[in-house]
Amino acid sequence: MSDHTQDAATIDLLFRLADDELMMGHRNAEWTGVGPVLEEDIAFSSMAQDELGHAFAYYTVLHEHLGQDNPDTLAFRREAADFRNARLTALPRSDWAAAVMRQFLYDAAEQVRLEHYSSHPFAPLAQLARKFRGEEKYHLMHGKSWVMRLGSATEDSRARLQAALEALWPHALGLFEPGQGGEDAGASEAALCAGWLAQVCPLLVSSSLQVPAERTAKGQWQSRVAAVYGRYAEPAPERVALLDAMQKVYRLDPNADW
Amino acid sequence: MTLMNPLVRPVITDDDGRSEDEKLVTFEARVAAGEKIEPTDWMPDRYRQQLIRMVQNHGNSEIVGALPEREWIPHAPTFKRKLALTAKVQDEVGHAQLLYRVVETLGKPREVIIEELLNGTAKYSNVFNYPPETWADVGIIAWLIDAAAIIRQMLLREGSYGPYSRALKRICYEESFHLKHGHDICVTLATGTQFQRDMLQDALNRWWNPIVGFFGPPDRASVHTDELMRWRVKLKTNDAIRQQFFDQYVPRIWELGLSIPDPELRKDDESGRWLYTEPDWEEFKRVIKGHGPCNAERIAVRRLAHEEGEWVRRALAAAANDQAVPVQ
Amino acid sequence: MDSDTQWVTWEVLHQEKRGDPHVHVGSVHAPNAEMALILAKEQFARRQKCVNLWVVPTVAIVSMPYDDADIFEAGTDKSYREAWGYKVRERVRAARELDRLDPKEDDAGE
């Protein structure tokens, strides 16, 4: 593969990573001030800030190593059609069961990804993957704890979590949509997805939830439901709505300092 | 020996045969010596009630104060602003958590405190009943309202109740970031385009009166006020704190090229005091009683959050009885 | 080890003066809370100034594993949430030198 196509694949990958983190950070930050209990309000807000921080770091790599615009321009000025986030990350905030489930499914995927990327041939990415490890570990710890507790607490909480799981599952699979910039040199999306299923399915099962997946004869987990892809499609309405809100002030005067 | 648990709620069982008057003498001597009162100490009932009212009001102001600003988190125009605003609102929730714990050491549980906020029987700072209309409002609120709050809280930190003082140490530290973040937004707008400068001036015009009113009406001379001062629950009069705010912040507002919308505002050279137009205290009272532009909306948002979180708190309270499942 | 004669342990927290936080200073073996307080007084406050002690059953303490210490490390720059992360006075000074501000009323100074 030539350097040029390698760059295109890396740029595409970094945009996917950055845009996912940005959207997750944005949606999760919407919980700040209205969480279900004060202590959790604080914890969830910190994770939103971590995600925004990770997005900023990925955009910085795009800017400094791959010739893209600066992070604020990439986040606040880019058109919806140019974003590469999976649909899962931009879905509007709904109830706490969905918030917790999305966070768990997403951060489990992050952990599997970062584990692979910590030895990625593109050094700046490998470096970030190692730097984010501690924060992602906490996110996953938090997500697992909530899923397990709510899954086994009351019939009501289990039912809400189950509904959230079913609604989010196809979108979560969409996190592993193959990149259009060419296959990444670090890890294939299919391999990451398999790693993710192996991580989340047993925990969901032990949390008294019905997983839309089954074990194959080889002992691997396989989803019974198809993924919803949306990274490269016509921008989904939730992405457009999110960007309208996020870019509102910046676009009052994109040439001003804010 | 009387065993006490100061963290759950104060257990006041020190029936040591002393009369109330004798206990009051010890209490007042301790406060006069600059010592702190701790939850397990005997304290006059009026002291306890006043502190509950005040700290509860403070905690409520943090949790309600988070609401107008959080509306702007989705719209913050750069990474740094988005992160800082989220962190500021998060801090305010954190302050409510700390302050409600202080109230609990005085005997009122958090669920009751929240219930009183939602049913309208508890108060919070009036200033949060006004709407934040533009991004510049976010700067003005974080800079000037937090500045006003810091001046008041630095004083209260020297007050006599140990748990409140301890909480305020941390709160003041965090608020100093809020103020810088707000000031930074204002400096950016003040040195920006004409559109941005106008936006900032407009925000100041709308917020100035609520900010001057933030410190409350002039204290009436009363035995009650004297007592609160003696017990170090109140450290300075509302007017004295307002003057201190003018002293520190009017010059900093002016230096950004902003006009303060009060033609009477100036420092009187002879008395060294700031002259200003008194806010409409009748309006202030109307807003306190629940008739401000945003009272209903603020409480409605808070109530919705509380109700939507109800099943979560209930489920985990049930799960708390079953800690057998280990995490990971 | 004879579990019939071994007393349980209590963690001891010490307050040097009113208004200070209680700080963990060690632990004692004691048969109950009252004895724990009485014994902790001489083991942990016989020299150090002290106005109050707390004791907590050691079994009530739950700890994070040190293997997870990396969760406390910031993955990115968090200076946005610190007062020292802002250089506002410097910005105002610089703007004034460049005449980008139009101060009202008297000169504000620094």
Q: For residue A230, give both structure tokens.
A: 């949306």
What value does the mean pLDDT take over residues A32-58?
98
The Cα-based distances of A37 to A41, B146, C29, C31 in angstroms read: 6, 24, 37, 37
How close B327 comes to chain A (CA, Å)? 6
pLDDT digits (tens, 9 = 90+) for B177-192: 999 999 999 999 999 9
Q: For residue A56, give both structure tokens.
A: 């900023």
Which residue from A41, A156, A256 is facing B93, i.e. has the nearest CB? Answer: A41
Contacts of C92 in chain B (CB under 8 A): 187, 255-256
Are the beta carbons of B176 and C18 separated by less than 8 Å?
A: no
Q: Is A233 helix (H, G, I), strand (E, B) or coil?
A: coil
The Cα A175–Cα B238 span in angstroms is 56
Per-residue confidence (pLDDT) for residue B327, from 0 to 100: 39
Closest chain A residue to the Cα of B59, Cα to Cα: A38
Are the beta carbons of B190 and C101 separated by less than 8 Å?
A: yes
Helices A3-29 and A96-117, packing angle to 10 deg: 150
How close B274 comes to chain C (CA, Å)? 14
Closest CA to B245 of B179, B164, B293: B179
pLDDT digits (tens, 9 = 90+) for B3-43: 878 776 555 555 678 888 999 999 999 999 999 999 999 99
CA angle B170, B175, B178 (to 5 degrees): 145
Per-residue confidence (pLDDT) for residue A187, from 0 to 100: 84
- CATH architecture group of domain C9-60: Roll (3.10)
The Cα B158–Cα B176 span in angstroms is 17
Per-residue confidence (pLDDT) for residue A181, from 0 to 100: 75
C33–chain B Cβ distance below 8 A for any pair: yes
The Cα A49–Cα A51 span in angstroms is 5
C93–chain B Cβ distance below 8 A for any pair: no
Closest chain B residue to the Cα of A36, Cα to Cα: B309
pLDDT digits (tens, 9 = 90+) for A88-123: 999 999 999 999 999 999 999 999 999 999 999 999
Question: Binning pLDDT at 50, 70 and 90, where does residue C2 land?
Answer: low
Sequence spans of domains, chain B: 32-217+225-306
pLDDT digits (tens, 9 = 90+) for C26-35: 999 999 999 9
Q: Is the dihedral of CA A17, A22, A27, A28 positive or negative?
A: positive
State the best of B64, B75, B79 to mutate against chain A, taking most chain A CBs within 10 Å: B79
Q: For residue B99, give both structure tokens.
A: 């302050």
Which residue from B70, B191, B195 is facing A32, i.e. has the nearest CB? Answer: B70
Which residue from B79, B135, B316 is facing A153, i.e. has the nearest CB? Answer: B316
CATH of domain A3-252: 1.20.1260.10
Are the beta carbons of A32 and B100 separated by less than 8 Å?
A: no
Per-residue confidence (pLDDT) for residue B131, from 0 to 100: 95
Which residue from B86, B196, B313 is facing A37, i.e. has the nearest CB? Answer: B313
Which residue from A49, A53, A134 is facing C71, i.e. has the nearest CB? Answer: A134
CA angle B216, B219, B222 (to 5 degrees): 150
What value does the mean pLDDT take over residues C77-93?
96
What value does the mean pLDDT take over residues B255-278?
96
Per-residue confidence (pLDDT) for residue B10, from 0 to 100: 55
Contacts of B252 in chain C (CB under 8 A): 108
Closest chain A residue to the Cα of B311, Cα to Cα: A157
What value does the mean pLDDT take over residues C4-12?
94
Decide which of C2 and B113 is more confident.
B113
C65–chain A Cβ distance below 8 A for any pair: no
* Strand ranges (E), chain B: 266-267, 274-275
The Cα A197–Cα A105 span in angstroms is 10
CATH of domain B32-217+225-306: 1.20.1260.10
What value does the mean pLDDT take over residues B57-82?
97
What value does the mean pLDDT take over residues A29-42?
97
What value does the mean pLDDT take over residues B230-247?
95
Are the beta carbons of C71 and A56 separated by less than 8 Å?
A: no
Decide which of B221 and B98 is more confident.
B98
Which residue from B35, B88, B260 is facing C18, i.e. has the nearest CB? Answer: B35
Per-residue confidence (pLDDT) for residue A94, from 0 to 100: 94
Q: For residue A52, give both structure tokens.
A: 């925004």
Q: For residue A177, give both structure tokens.
A: 């949509």
Contacts of B308 in chain A (CB under 8 A): 34, 36, 95-96
pLDDT digits (tens, 9 = 90+) for B130-175: 999 999 999 999 999 999 999 999 999 999 999 999 999 999 999 9
C82–chain A Cβ distance below 8 A for any pair: no
Closest chain C residue to the Cα of B165, Cα to Cα: C19
Closest chain C residue to the Cα of A136, Cα to Cα: C71
Which residue from B79, B301, B313 is facing A75, i.e. has the nearest CB? Answer: B79
Are the beta carbons of B191 and C86 separated by less than 8 Å?
A: no
Per-residue confidence (pLDDT) for residue B328, from 0 to 100: 39
Per-window interface: A 91-130 vs B, CB < 8 A: 95-96
B3–chain A Cβ distance below 8 A for any pair: no
C92–chain B Cβ distance below 8 A for any pair: yes
Contacts of A257 in chain B (CB under 8 A): 188, 191-192
Bridge partners of C15?
Answer: C52
Q: Which bin fits B232, alpha (ψ -120 to 50), beta or left (φ > 0)?
A: left
The answer to whether residue C101 scores a pLDDT higher than 90 is no
Closest chain A residue to the Cα of C76, Cα to Cα: A53
Q: For residue B180, give both structure tokens.
A: 């810088």
pLDDT digits (tens, 9 = 90+) for B269-328: 999 999 999 999 999 999 988 899 999 999 999 999 999 999 999 999 887 755 544 433
pLDDT digits (tens, 9 = 90+) for B102-140: 999 999 999 999 999 999 999 999 999 999 999 999 999
The Cα C36–Cα C53 span in angstroms is 10
Per-residue confidence (pLDDT) for residue C4, from 0 to 100: 81
Closest chain B residue to the Cα of C104, Cα to Cα: B254
Sequence spans of domains, chain C: 9-60, 66-97
* CB pairs B-C closer than 8 Å: 82
Closest CA to B62 of B23, B14, B114, B27: B114
Interface partners of chain C (CB pairs < 8 Å, 3 or more) are A, B
Pairing between β-strand C23-29 and β-strand C9-15 as defined by DSSP bridges: antiparallel
How close A3 comes to chain B (CA, Å)? 31
The answer to whether residue A185 scores a pLDDT higher than 90 is no
Per-residue confidence (pLDDT) for residue B154, from 0 to 100: 96
Per-window interface: B 60-89 vs A, CB < 8 A: 63, 66-67, 69-70, 73-79, 81-83, 86-87, 89
Are the beta carbons of C75 and A133 separated by less than 8 Å?
A: yes
Contacts of B132 in chain A (CB under 8 A): none
